[in-house]
Chain A
Amino acid sequence: MKFTGYDVGPFHDEMFSAPGVPRDGARLLMERIESLAPGELARRQHKAEQALYDLGITFTVYGHQEGTEKIFPFDVVPRVVEAKCWDRLELGLKQRIYALNLFLDDIYHGQKILKDKVIPREIIETAEGFLPACMNIDPPKGIWCHITGTDLVRDEHGVFHVLEDNLRCPSGVSYVLANRRLMKRTLPEVFAASNVRPVDDYPARLLDLLLRMAPEGVRNPRVALLTPGIYNSAYYEHSFLALQTGIELVQGQDLEVRDRRVYMRTTKGLKRVHVIYRRLNDDFLDPKVFQPDSLLGVPGIMDAFRAGNVSLANAPGTGVADDKVVYAFVPEIIRYYLGEEAFIPNVPTYLCWRESDRKYVLENLETMVVKAANESGGYGMLVGPGSTKQEREEFAGRVKANPRNYIAQPALKLSRAPVIVDDHFEGRHVDLRPYILHDGDVRVIPGGLTRVALKKGSLVVNSSQGGGSKDTWVLKH
């Protein structure tokens, strides 16, 4: 398969700087792919898909019939990130995580940033992710956001922007590891020649982090991963991470709290649990504190957390910084806590809560992406370009009814990368979600999940909305 005739369009292309001209870091990749025998790439693509199916690397789609399984489509042409570009991103991500963690600790303690009027108090107090139940809790080492998956997008000039911070329970890292494993057996000759930074130590680093988070004085902490269960869309990832780290995979029904301590129910009685990597949203975590009808959570777990008898990663309450209105203030947050300018800019954001912004947004819906402040996963949003008049009117109504809950961003011309379509390549829009661990030091996993909007022209990369993925190769030099 050749790249001849591949159209880069009016976008930043991840592989080509101009038609037929590969970027420096992608030259080797292009040459090796083109040197494969005719039909070979398509054959390997097919084999990779079959492997995903056999391995059961699938996710569940909500809103379809219960338990509908799909493989997460995978394109075998990797996305290459050059070393210099990555090193800058890494600095920016570290800066952002340090600042956001300081922000969270401040919000749940003295709220200096509100007293200094850098962020309006009203915004925080109306943020769905703000949990008064977390006030004055001291998580070990003052760390709230242990595991983050920041969404980055690149505009037509090739500049990276942060789209979302995802400080709650970001998923997808298992695909990074599975994609890499798959790529090594799909294009071994290309991989070997490319000098790619490894990602395989993620599980070991994650385990280290969780062990370090143990309550003080615990010598041999028992760690568990709390999953909502097998019908959760990310269940594959939960079991994968438990398997890779060797920690126990538990559901709410497996845990119980006695004397403000958390135990799991085993065949030999109750065993103490010290650290929980929870992949359950805040609202479901403790029916005694949050949603009373939650069957997935553990009654009393917040009490045990507050007493310091169990550590939770991420800490509850981090969702306040995921609110898309708070997101708009992150550059101020970085300036306030670190005295620095943000290395990676935000996407320009209009807050419908501000009257002037709202007016502008409503007048320009066709060119905007409007999002609910508390939704994620591509739900609850309007992509202006390509929307119908009826959709826009309906969304305008929602914005007017609840302006605090909506923000809008100009529709970005997301960068594209070539994907295999039948017997040729076509450009599709991509984003990038690197994973970041914070246990006192912040570490960024070199690579991340490159999500692809497989539908022609689509800007939505979420797996629930027909997205796929690629392996991300960060070069060593």
Chain B
Amino acid sequence: MLSRVANAVYWMSRYLERAGNLARFVDVNWHLTLDLPGSGPEAWRSLIIASGDKALFEERYGDYDAASVITFLCFDADYLNSIHSCLWAGRENARAIREVIPYEMWEQINITYHFVQDMAKRPLEVVENPYDFCQQIKQGDFIVGGIEGDAMIHDEAWHFARLGRLLERCDKTSRILDVNCHRMLPEEGDQSIVFDSIHWSALLRATSALNAFRRCRGRISPAKVAEFLLLDQEFPRSVLHGLIQAQHSLHAITGTAPGHYSRESERLLGQLRADLSYLTIDEVFDQGLHRFTDRLQTRMNAADACLGREFFGYPGGVAQVQVEQ
């Protein structure tokens, strides 16, 4: 397939996944602040930290109140990672590959985008009650995911879409976990863990993991939550699950047999996946959760950059050397 098209499919998926995750985060945080009066500023602040764009937020808004954070994350058209901007970028990528994706998918992306555009005109409604807004974004994302799985041919383009979606999801899951643990766990080595099941269940809900967690793991404890979100093999939003599936898609694209690599991107992704496969949660905590997720994100970024060079025709790539006879 065309390098440009592969690139667009990948980024379409990444941006749509990003928008869906943001909606989840906002929704859950809002619920949390209702349950725990007075927790607002701290909760909103941690959300901004998770976004990785703290400096920009402080420069543009200053205070960590619900209105500023929600406006920033949902509607700020000048902020590249707001829901509005992500859907715009996802849609622009989708537009460039409309012949590749099912028209139902394009239709759904349009519906969600127009909805956000509409709501951006009256952000106060969302600030006062973000529930319906976030719900709509989440549902829209699930529908696109469903169309992706059930109506799109599972060819190379589909595997690039999966790669984009999964790498984005792993990144966001690790970030939200990191930020919440930072807030809720005491300094490393300190045994006096302040356990707060409301916070932890909010975190699980933000990753659509609460029901699954309860069924598989029962009682909530920080280690169990971290283990579930990082290392569970069956939960589709855990980091390990995402990496396994991403690796599977990458190998489907290249045709390289499992257990080997023919390209640098396969090596980077495979190594990372293998590390996680045989890791225990105790070892994660020994390293320190923050340091662990930080390294995880850095390594995923390296894999992403490598995909760009090897498949999407970014500078330094090797995609163009073979000439068909």
Residues on A facing B (Cβ under 8 Å): 53-56, 229-230, 235-236, 239-240, 242-243, 248-251, 253-254, 258, 263-272
Give per-residue flags for B168-189: 1 if the beta carbon is below 8 A from chain A beta carbons, else 0.
0000000000000000000000
Contacts of A268 in B (CB 8 A): 319, 322
Residues on B facing A (Cβ under 8 Å): 1-6, 92, 95-99, 103, 106-107, 110-111, 114, 156, 253, 311-313, 319-324
Contacts of A258 in B (CB 8 A): 323
What CA separation (Å) do A236 and B92 show in the bound complex? 12
The one of B99, B114, B319, B321 in contact with A243, judged by C-beta atoms closer than 8 angstroms, is: B99
Q: Tell whether, in the assembled complex, residue A269 and residue B322 are in contact, meaning their CB atoms are under 8 Å apart.
A: yes
Contacts of A250 in B (CB 8 A): 2
Q: Can you name the residue of chain A whose Cβ is closest to the Cβ of B6?
A: A267
Contacts of A240 in B (CB 8 A): 98-99
Q: Tell whether, in the assembled complex, residue A254 and residue B319 are in contact, meaning their CB atoms are under 8 Å apart.
A: no
What CA separation (Å) do A270 and B313 show in the bound complex? 12
**Which one of B92, B99, B322 has the greatest number of beta carbons of chain A within 10 Å?**
B99
Q: Tell whether, in the assembled complex, residue A54 and residue B111 are in contact, meaning their CB atoms are under 8 Å apart.
A: yes
Q: Tell whether, in the assembled complex, residue A269 and residue B319 are in contact, meaning their CB atoms are under 8 Å apart.
A: yes
What CA separation (Å) do A74 and B106 show in the bound complex? 20
Contacts of B3 in A (CB 8 A): 254, 265-267
Q: Tell whether, in the assembled complex, residue A267 and residue B324 are in contact, meaning their CB atoms are under 8 Å apart.
A: no
Contacts of A229 in B (CB 8 A): 96
What CA separation (Å) do A201 and B34 show in the bound complex? 58
What CA separation (Å) do A271 and B323 show in the bound complex? 7
Query: Closest CB-CB distance, A225 to chain B, in whole Å?
Result: 8
What CA separation (Å) do A54 and B313 show in the bound complex? 33
**Which one of A235, A265, A268 has the greatest number of beta carbons of chain B within 10 Å?**
A268
Q: With A56-B107, A248-B2, A254-B2 in contact, do A269 and B98 touch (Cβ < 8 Å)?
A: no
Contacts of A248 in B (CB 8 A): 2
Q: With A265-B320, A269-B321 in contact, do A239 and B2 touch (Cβ < 8 Å)?
A: no
What CA separation (Å) do A56 and B105 show in the bound complex? 11
B interface SS class: helix
Contacts of A253 in B (CB 8 A): 4
Sort A-B residue pairs by CB-CB distance and give the 3 closest, nearest first: A269-B322, A242-B99, A239-B98
Can you name 15 A-B pairs with beta carbons within 8 Å? A54-B114, A55-B103, A55-B106, A56-B95, A242-B99, A243-B103, A254-B2, A254-B4, A263-B323, A265-B320, A266-B2, A267-B311, A268-B319, A269-B320, A269-B321
A interface SS class: mixed
Contacts of B106 in A (CB 8 A): 55-56
Q: Tell whether, in the assembled complex, residue A55 and residue B110 are in contact, meaning their CB atoms are under 8 Å apart.
A: yes
Query: Closest CB-CB distance, A256 to chain B, in whole Å?
Result: 8
Contacts of A272 in B (CB 8 A): 324
Q: Tell whether, in the assembled complex, residue A267 and residue B319 are in contact, meaning their CB atoms are under 8 Å apart.
A: yes
Contacts of B110 in A (CB 8 A): 53-56
Query: Closest CB-CB distance, B309 to chain A, in whole Å?
Result: 12
Q: With A250-B2, A265-B2, A265-B3 in contact, do A54 and B323 touch (Cβ < 8 Å)?
A: no
What CA separation (Å) do A235 and B312 show in the bound complex? 22
Q: A54-B107, A56-B106 are in contact. List 13 more A-B contacts (CB 8 A).
A: A53-B110, A55-B110, A56-B98, A230-B95, A230-B96, A239-B98, A240-B98, A240-B99, A243-B98, A249-B97, A263-B324, A267-B1, A272-B324
Q: Can you name the residue of chain A whose Cβ is closest to the Cβ of B94?
A: A56
Query: Closest CB-CB distance, A452 to chain B, in whole Å?
Result: 25
Query: Closest CB-CB distance, A241 to chain B, in whole Å?
Result: 8
Q: Can you name the residue of chain B whose Cβ is closest to the Cβ of A238?
A: B99
Q: Can you name the residue of chain A whose Cβ is closest to the Cβ of B95?
A: A230
Q: Tell whether, in the assembled complex, residue A235 and residue B95 are in contact, meaning their CB atoms are under 8 Å apart.
A: yes
Query: Closest CB-CB distance, A217 to chain B, in whole Å?
Result: 15
What CA separation (Å) do A128 and B99 show in the bound complex? 34
Query: Closest CB-CB distance, A345 to chain B, in whole Å?
Result: 40
Contacts of B321 in A (CB 8 A): 269
Q: Tell whether, in the assembled complex, residue A251 and residue B4 are in contact, meaning their CB atoms are under 8 Å apart.
A: yes
Contacts of A239 in B (CB 8 A): 95, 97-99
